[in-house]
């Protein structure tokens, strides 16, 4: 006898299961599309097309609208992203104190452009306008850690901490 | 009593289900419903514990705002705890995490009580010395004290630092001084007294008080808050909403973040008072997604307020209901605009719509909605508690109270500065901010973010209030103050702001969508040395059209940085166009790097760092840069120890 646990239905991955849970939790709450997409992105790391389709179907919102919302806000991503997200601040305070030099150095070091991911999926590089740590300008944020008072020389050491 | 907020004994009946109308007063002055020396004493003990360390005890306040966490306050706290435990001192010292002091550049900040000793840039390596010298021997660690820029004098106690001494902290009063994750500390600092007073007043009287105070919105437009509340209160409809705009998008401003992280209950209390005055029972705080710590602190504050019956149904037994939700933004500057924010809460693309109808009449889900900024709400409890007259005595004729500014850029003390309205720019930048870094001359200050303007030296004595700044072409806006010295190019700054607004334009209306693009093209060309005759005039015309015909505030104010730099720094534009020269030496395309023959000793360092190998020369001989191949990276200039590389 075959001892797999297949029930004849396509198996749901752990992530898909969490998405179903999420949709069940929110189905009836008004104005819930953005939080649902935010949490779905937490689960998958980005928003694959199938997830958008599923969200649209389950919340009974046209797919075109879901896609419209996803492409309006800079936080939503349609492509897979790196394990570590680097956000370089190019806000005013950081600009005046050389944020662009930091950005250029990172572009060079990682050989990617704004919004791109390294081929080994280790880093995604993004620019943002102000992360509220202007007193420490220039500033970058890697995942949830903020690094301030930067110089291009300090970057290699900081990047090494993220695998 | 488990803490100040819990019941003192079985006689206290307060709970969210059975609320006591005297609950808040009773925390500080109680017990009010029964007589008990023991219960009175235990309240006093809790309040004392919050306000000052007990006899023989020390209190260490470690800043745990975003800035100081970035500089290492978390490992600092862990290290202190292990060190104190190892020495058996843990029970003699209270370690408390606070919110932002607004002096993030000096972080991590550590304050030792009693004595208010202010240590800055404290690292884990310094812990030993602090414990050994300060905690055990009662001697200050001079090395870690703050030094005044200029005189270099060490300052012993917090209130004596000029940066703080010249401020008037009302909204920021608790930030850095209480634990934002403990509602008891807020209540011990007179928190929720404003709500208590508001609930004892007629709704109309609360609005009247706000109107008399003269408080104007701190989010940008500066509309009278009391008036806005009145519109919403008078709008027909049963269901009404209260919304807090915490989308803080101005790059360079972080006061809303600090208030949310350092004193979240003040915002909640302000919203509660507004809800009571307007007759709303539900509210939203829309926080920008880049502020995860602010969201976390708000969540804690909301759940504590619920636990003690300050949010929910029948609040303090008055029949007043209010529920509060947090919405995290998803990254769009335009969502700071009120109609865009509301439609974003509804789950749509955050595009502004035509006003009227204003949100006060037709807002969230078409219901009357009052929307105010974080700082606006945080002012409200103080006004209720201390009275409109007290508030209105600060400030100028039409701008009352205090305003928080985020002082950043090339200034010695960067940080949050709360001052009475009407102080001059000079006082803020030179007295509080300690002047320009590295003794360079002041050139300009950008005030009000992407909607504001750049003001020159000649405007430094301008009083900072809504009307004077608007007259000068800038605006208070969110309160960002970015100081610039001679190395900042005004054309480049105008280009920088425009590239920001252009990227963030939602695209709904043509003047903003296309106009900002064309303006950006012209400015970019200028900074690259391709400026043409007629460009300035074209910019001026475009700016006027975009300003006059855009749908929302983003487009209407986007030209301000261009118009003010044109007004005050026109010669820099001309230098870029006619002489192809950047007077500030900032536009790299207009620069040339040269080696000064009389200074170069031929050490070869520059030739080795040049990424394109365009420097030639034999060791010990003068080197030469091939300017046709030079990519103007500046590496040679940074490297040369003899200051032989010049940039022009
Ligand atoms: C493009 C744009 C961005 C804005 N961003 C913010 C913001 O980040 N925070 C804020 O409180 N108000 C912002 N505003 C102003 C709001 O539209 C609104 O006037 C304000 O929230 C009202 O609150 P107040 O009366 O307390 O100032 C922005 C306006 C525009 C046009
Ligand atoms: S002015 Fe700009 S941001 Fe505002 S509605 Fe028009 S296009 Fe959108
Ligand atoms: S680094 Fe300076 S001194 Fe040395 S060769 Fe280059 S220009 Fe000359
Ligand atoms: S500025 Fe850069 S490219 Fe030009 S000479 Fe110096 S090091 Fe070489
Ligand atoms: S401008 Fe960079 S953190 Fe604010
Ligand atoms: S985060 Fe510590 S002073 Fe601002």
Residue B52, pLDDT > 80, answer no
**pLDDT given for residue A89 in this prediction:** 92
- β-pair partners for A141: A87, A146
Q: Round to whole Å and give the CA distance between A26 and A36.
A: 8
Q: pLDDT digit string (tens) for B86-138?
A: 999 988 898 989 888 889 888 899 999 888 899 999 999 999 999 999 999 88
Q: Round to whole Å and give the CA distance between B31 and B8.
A: 8
Beta strands at B282-287 and B241-246: parallel, antiparallel or unpaired: parallel
Q: Which of A95, A134, A148 sits opposite B71 (nearest CB)?
A: A148
Residue in this structure with the two tokens 């419209």, named with its chain if needed: A68
With respect to residue A79, please indicate whether it lies within any of the assigned structural domains.
Answer: no
Report whether residue B572 contacts ligand 1, using a CB cutoff of 6 Å: no
With respect to residue A151, please indicate whether it lies within any of the assigned structural domains.
Answer: yes
With respect to residue A1, please indicate whether it lies within any of the assigned structural domains.
Answer: no
**pLDDT given for residue B628 in this prediction:** 87
Torsion from C-alpha of B225, B227, B233, B236, nearest 10 degrees: -130
Could you tell me the distance, in angstroms and rounded to a whole number, from the CA of residue B626 to the centre of ligand 3? 14
Q: pLDDT digit string (tens) for B310-361?
A: 999 999 999 999 999 999 999 899 999 999 999 999 999 999 999 999 999 9
Q: What's the average model confidence in pLDDT over B460-484?
A: 91
Contact B505, B513 (CB under 8 A): yes
| 3-state SS string for B411-450 | ECCCEEEEEECCCEHHHHHHHHCCCEHHHCCEEEEEECHH
**pLDDT given for residue B62 in this prediction:** 94
Give the nearest ligand 1 atom to B450 CA: 1
Q: Tell me, yes or no, whether A93 and A155 share the same domain.
A: yes
**pLDDT given for residue A11 in this prediction:** 64
Beta strands at B241-246 and B154-155: parallel, antiparallel or unpaired: unpaired
Residue B333, SS3?
A: helix
CA atoms within 13 A on the CB side of B593: 28
Residue B587, pLDDT > 70, answer yes
For B58-165, CATH gives: 3.40.30.10
**Cβ burial, residue B94 (10 Å; 0-12/13-18/19+):** middle
Residue B70 contacts A where some CB pair is shorter than 8 Å = yes
Helix axes B570-578, B510-527, angle to 10 degrees: 60
For B183-392, CATH gives: 3.40.50.11540
Q: Which of B248, B292, B497 sits opposite A144 (nearest CB)?
A: B292
Q: pLDDT digit string (tens) for A30-63?
A: 889 999 999 999 999 899 999 999 999 999 999 9
**pLDDT given for residue B2 in this prediction:** 81
Beta strands at B453-456 and B442-447: parallel, antiparallel or unpaired: antiparallel
Q: Which domain holds residue A25?
A: 14-72
**pLDDT given for residue B177 in this prediction:** 87
Element (H, E) at B61: strand B58-63
Residue A1, pLDDT > 80, answer no
What is the b/e burial string over B610-636, where b = at least 16 CB atoms within 10 angstroms of the residue's CB?
beeebbebeeeeebebeeeebeebebb
For residue B291, the chain A residue with the least C-alpha distance is A131
Residue A62 contacts B where some CB pair is shorter than 8 Å = no
Q: pLDDT digit string (tens) for B474-494?
A: 888 889 999 999 889 999 999
Residue B289 contacts A where some CB pair is shorter than 8 Å = yes
Q: What's the average model confidence in pLDDT over B184-208?
A: 96
Could you tell me the distance, in angstroms and rounded to a whole number, from the CA of residue B633 to the centre of ligand 4? 5
Give the nearest ligand 4 atom to B615 CA: 5
Report whether residue B376 contacts ligand 1, using a CB cutoff of 6 Å: yes
Residues 6+ apart with CB under 8 A from B157: B115, B116, B117, B118
Final residue of a domain: which of A47, A72, A97? Answer: A72
Helix (H), strand (E) counts: chain A: 7, 4
With respect to residue A66, please indicate whether it lies within any of the assigned structural domains.
Answer: yes
Q: Tell me, yes or no, whether A92 and A30 share the same domain.
A: no
Binding-face residues of A in 95-134 toward B, CB within 8 A: 95-97, 128-134
Radius of gyration of chain A from its Cα atoms, rounded to whole angstroms = 20
**pLDDT given for residue B221 in this prediction:** 84
Determine the straight-line distance between the first and last CA of chain A, rounded to whole angstroms: 43
Domain boundaries, chain B: 1-51, 58-165, 183-392, 402-446+462-485, 490-578, 592-647
What is the b/e burial string over B192-219, where b = at least 16 CB atoms within 10 angstroms of the residue's CB?
bbbbbbbbebeeeebbbbbbbbbbbbbb
| 3-state SS string for B184-228 | HHHHHCCCCHHHHHHHCCCHHHHHHHHHHHCCECCCCCCCEHHHH
Residue A3, pLDDT > 80, answer no
How many structural domains does chain A have? 2
Q: Which residues of B touch A137 (CB under 8 A)?
A: 408, 414
B257–A73 C-beta distance less than 8 A: no
Element (H, E) at A61: none
Distance of CA A33 to the CA centre of its chain: 17
Mean pLDDT of chain B, nearest integer: 93
A92–B70 C-beta distance less than 8 A: no
Report whether residue B176 contacts ligand 1, using a CB cutoff of 6 Å: no
Residue B10, pLDDT > 60, answer yes
Give the nearest ligand 5 atom to A89 CA: 2
What is the b/e burial string over A87-108, where b = at least 16 CB atoms within 10 angstroms of the residue's CB?
bbbbbbbbbbbebeebbebbbe
CATH topology of domain B402-446+462-485: Ubiquitin-like (UB roll) (3.10.20)
With respect to residue A3, please indicate whether it lies within any of the assigned structural domains.
Answer: no
Q: pLDDT digit string (tens) for B379-409?
A: 999 999 999 999 999 999 999 999 999 998 8
C-alpha triplet B637, B639, B642: angle, nearest 5°: 75
With respect to residue A128, please indicate whether it lies within any of the assigned structural domains.
Answer: yes
Q: Tell me, yes or no, whether A108 and A58 share the same domain.
A: no
Give the pLDDT band (50/70/90) at residue A159.
very high
> What is this structure's pTM?
0.91
Pocket test for ligand 5, best of A88, A97, A134 (most atoms within 8 A of CB): A134
Residue B68, pLDDT > 70, answer yes
Q: Which of A34, A132, A145 sits opposite B254 (nearest CB)?
A: A132
Residue A31 contacts B where some CB pair is shorter than 8 Å = yes
For residue A2, is it left (φ>0), alpha (ψ between -120 and 50) or beta? beta
Q: Tell me, yes or no, whether A48 and A20 share the same domain.
A: yes
For residue A131, the chain B residue with the least C-alpha distance is B290
Q: At the top level of CATH, which class does the domain B592-647 belong to?
A: alpha beta
For domain B490-578, give its CATH number from 3.30.1220.10, 1.10.4030.10, 1.20.1440.230, 1.10.10.10. Answer: 1.20.1440.230
Q: Tell me, yes or no, whether A151 and A88 share the same domain.
A: yes
Q: Round to whole Å and give the CA distance between B284 and B341.
A: 11
Q: What's the average model confidence in pLDDT over B225-229?
A: 98
| 3-state SS string for B117-164 | EEECCCCHHHHHHHHHHHHHCCCCCHHHEEECCCCCCEECEHHHCHHH
Q: Tell me, yes or no, whether A112 and A136 share the same domain.
A: yes
Residues 6+ apart with CB under 8 A from B164: B103, B158
Q: Which residues of A are annotated as a binding site for [2Fe-2S] cluster?
A: 89, 94, 130, 134
Q: Which residues of A touch B561 (CB under 8 A)?
A: none
**pLDDT given for residue A2 in this prediction:** 53
Element (H, E) at B543: helix B535-549
pLDDT cut 90: percent of chain A above it: 63
Proximal ligand: closest to the CA of B635: 4
Q: Which of B70, B252, B497 sits opposite A148 (nearest CB)?
A: B70
Give the pLDDT band (50/70/90) at residue B632.
confident
């Amino acid at each position: 006898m075959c001892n797999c646990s297949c029930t004849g239905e396509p198996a749901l991955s752990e992530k898909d299961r969490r998405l179903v849970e999420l949709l069940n939790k929110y189905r009836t709450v008004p104005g819930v599309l953005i939080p649902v997409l935010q949490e779905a992105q937490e689960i998958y790391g980005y928003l694959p097309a199938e997830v958008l389709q599923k969200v649209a179907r389950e919340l009974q919102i046209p797919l075109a609208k879901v896609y419209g919302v996803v492409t309006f806000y800079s936080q939503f991503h349609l492509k897979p992203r790196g394990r570590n997200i680097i956000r370089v601040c190019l806000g005013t305070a950081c600009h005046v104190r050389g944020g662009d030099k930091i950005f250029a150095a990172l572009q060079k070091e990682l050989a990617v452009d704004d919004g791109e991911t390294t081929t080994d999926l280790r880093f995604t590089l993004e620019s943002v306008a102000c992360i509220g740590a202007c007193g420490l300008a220039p500033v970058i944020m890697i995942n949830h850690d903020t690094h301030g008072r930067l110089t291009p020389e300090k970057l290699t050491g900081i990047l090494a901490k993220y695998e | 009593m488990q803490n100040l907020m819990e019941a003192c004994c079985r006689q206290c009946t307060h709970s969210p289900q059975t609320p006591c109308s005297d609950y808040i007063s009773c925390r500080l002055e109680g017990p009010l419903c029964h007589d008990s020396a023991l219960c009175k004493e235990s309240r006093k003990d809790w309040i004392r514990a919050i306000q000052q360390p007990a006899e023989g005890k020390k209190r260490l306040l470690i800043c745990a705002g975003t800035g100081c966490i970035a500089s290492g306050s978390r490992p600092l706290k862990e290290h202190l705890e292990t060190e104190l435990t190892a020495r058996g001192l843990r029970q003699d010292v209270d370690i408390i995490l606070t919110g932002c002091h607004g002096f993030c550049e000096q972080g991590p900040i550590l304050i030792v009580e009693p004595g208010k000793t202010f240590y800055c840039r404290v690292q884990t390596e310094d812990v030993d010395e602090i414990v050994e010298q300060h905690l055990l021997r009662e001697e200050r660690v001079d090395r870690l004290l703050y030094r005044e820029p200029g005189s270099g004098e060490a300052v012993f106690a917090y209130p004596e630092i000029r940066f703080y001494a010249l401020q008037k902290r009302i909204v920021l009063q608790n930030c850095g001084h209480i634990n934002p994750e403990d509602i008891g500390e807020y209540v011990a600092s007179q928190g929720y007294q404003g709500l208590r007073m508001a609930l004892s007043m007629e709704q109309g009287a609360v609005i009247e008080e706000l109107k008399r105070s003269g408080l104007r919105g701190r989010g940008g437009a500066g509309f009278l808050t009391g008036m806005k509340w009145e519109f919403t209160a008078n709008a027909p409809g049963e269901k009404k909403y209260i919304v807090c705009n915490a989308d803080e998008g101005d790059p360079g401003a972080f006061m809303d973040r600090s208030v949310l992280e350092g004193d979240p209950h003040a915002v909640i209390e302000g919203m509660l008072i507004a809800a009571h005055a307007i007759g709303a029972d539900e509210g939203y705080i829309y926080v920008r997604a880049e502020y995860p710590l602010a969201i976390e602190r708000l969540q804690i504050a909301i759940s504590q307020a619920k636990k003690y019956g300050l949010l929910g149904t029948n609040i303090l037994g008055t029949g007043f209901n209010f529920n509060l939700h947090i919405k995290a933004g998803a990254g769009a500057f335009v969502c700071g605009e009120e109609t865009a924010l509301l439609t974003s809460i509804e789950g749509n693309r955050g595009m502004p719509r035509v006003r009227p109808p204003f949100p006060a009449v037709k807002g969230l889900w078409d219901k009357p909605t009052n929307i105010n900024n974080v700082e606006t709400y945080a002012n409200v409890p103080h006004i209720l508690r201390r009275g409109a007259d007290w508030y209105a005595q600060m400030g100028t004729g039409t701008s009352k109270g205090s305003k928080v500014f985020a002082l950043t850029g090339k200034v010695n003390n960067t940080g949050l500065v709360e001052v009475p309205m009407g102080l001059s720019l000079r006082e803020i930048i030179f007295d509080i901010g300690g002047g320009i870094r590295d003794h360079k001359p002041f050139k300009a200050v950008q005030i009000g973010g992407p909607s504001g303007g750049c003001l020159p030296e000649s405007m430094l004595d301008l009083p900072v209030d809504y009307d004077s700044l608007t007259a000068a072409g800038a605006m208070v806006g969110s309160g960002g103050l970015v100081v610039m010295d001679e190395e900042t190019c005004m054309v480049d700054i105008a280009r920088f702001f425009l590239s920001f607004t252009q990227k963030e334009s939602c695209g709904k209306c043509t003047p903003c969508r296309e106009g900002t693009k064309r303006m950006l093209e012209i400015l970019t060309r200028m900074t690259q040395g391709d400026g043409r005759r007629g460009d300035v005039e074209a910019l001026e015309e475009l700016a006027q059209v975009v300003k006059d015909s855009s749908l929302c505030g983003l487009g209407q104010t986007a030209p301000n940085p261009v118009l003010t730099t044109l007004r005050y720094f026109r010669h820099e534009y001309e230098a870029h166009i006619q002489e192809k020269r950047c007077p500030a030496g900032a536009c790299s395309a207009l620069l040339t790097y040269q080696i000064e023959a009389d200074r170069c000793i031929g050490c070869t360092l520059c030739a080795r760092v040049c990424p394109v190998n365009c420097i030639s020369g034999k060791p010990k001989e003068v080197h030469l840069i091939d300017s046709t191949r030079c990519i103007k990276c500046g590496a040679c200039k940074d490297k040369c120890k003899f200051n032989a590389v010049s940039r022009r």
